[in-house]
Amino acid sequence: MDKRYYFGIDIGGTTVKTGIFSAEGVLLEKSEIATRTGQGEEAIFGDIAAELSRLAHANGAELSECAAGIDIAGPVDEEGFMERGVNLGLDELYPARILSDMCGGMPSFALNDANAAALGEIWQGGGRGVSSAVMITLGTGVGGGVIQGGRVISGTHGLGGEIGHICVEPGEEELCSCGGRGCLEQYASATGIVRMARRVMAESEEYSGMRVTDPLTAKDVFDLAKKGDALAVRAADESMDRLGRAMAMICYVTDPESIIIGGGVSRAGEYLRALAQSKMEKYARLSKHYPKVVLAELGNDAGICGAAKYAMDMTAKQIEAPECGR
């Protein structure tokens, strides 16, 4: 049944961020505790359960009036099973069941971090008001989340939305972290952008502010590009060109209303957004109807928002189809 309060829990390798939301979606309180990584599930989830109790009581709630969504790194299948908890040193777990058991049977549901961010952004962030969107997170790597008809699409094996490993350059010789070559992540992640910049510099004798910036970061590349530094403009263009190719492929698979760009790299703002939009339109030629490329707005809160929304959606679904409930 519907609950009065929803927790959004973002379990990272270093900290666990938690938000308690009202049924109307208002964030009442946020907190952050350390993740006792490597000490087993009892330690990690025991700490979270204690924190949920504290947050509930501080906001005048009982755990029986709450449901929780858990945002966690790594593929989570539709049953909530994780083969590997990437940052936690845990294997083969059902995070939602563990938490539910520790919290007196509180309804709990787990989803992958990229999907949680996507759901959060269409609920309260840059994708507000749309029901189909793809979020691309440009950070250390490239992550993705796919929402269709308001639902997270995680796929048969939890691989739905692993946009970072779409091959955009079959001729690439360097290896990606996944073992493949030519993945989007090799061009459009923070490290990929710096790699492109080094490649552009190696191919030219031309002066560039990038040559005297040490260490060179993706932010530096975009800052210099905005100032008109020719090689930085070229590096940003090369990176966004590959992103545009991947976005065109996405258009032809799910045809979303919006593509939301988030992650640290997206702080380059309108320059990056406009470039990505034009590159996508260059490669998606079949129709003049393109998704709108927008920037994420929730930053680090996207995960807790999306996880809370997931808990709301899943508890609502249990009313409609009790036989599917856990």
- State the residues that interact with Zn ion by CB under 5 A: 165, 176, 178, 180, 183
Q: Nearest distance from residue 13's CB to Zn ion, in Å?
A: 21
Q: Nearest distance from residue 113's CB to Zn ion, in Å?
A: 18
Nearer to Zn ion, 189 or 208 (CB): 189
Nearer to Zn ion, 159 or 178 (CB): 178
Q: How many CB atoms lie within 10 A of CB 282?
A: 12
Q: Nearest distance from residue 7's CB to Zn ion, in Å?
A: 33
Pairing of strands 151-152, 108-112: unpaired
Helical residues (DSSP H) of 31-94, grouped into ranges:
40-58
Nearer to Zn ion, 109 or 187 (CB): 187
Q: How many CB atoms lie within 10 A of CB 258?
A: 22
Q: How many CB atoms lie within 10 A of CB 51?
A: 17
Q: Nearest distance from residue 183's CB to Zn ion, in Å?
A: 3
Q: Nearest distance from residue 290's CB to Zn ion, in Å?
A: 26
Q: Nearest distance from residue 129's CB to Zn ion, in Å?
A: 33
Nearer to Zn ion, 90 or 183 (CB): 183
Element (H, E) at 219: helix 218-226
Nearer to Zn ion, 110 or 190 (CB): 190
| CA separation for the pair 2, 238 (Å, rounded) | 48
| CA separation for the pair 269, 261 (Å, rounded) | 10
| CA separation for the pair 263, 135 (Å, rounded) | 10
CB 238 within 8 A of CB 196: yes
Question: Which of these, 69, 164, 79, lies nearest to 117 by C-alpha position?
Answer: 69
Nearer to Zn ion, 149 or 179 (CB): 179
| CA separation for the pair 111, 141 (Å, rounded) | 19
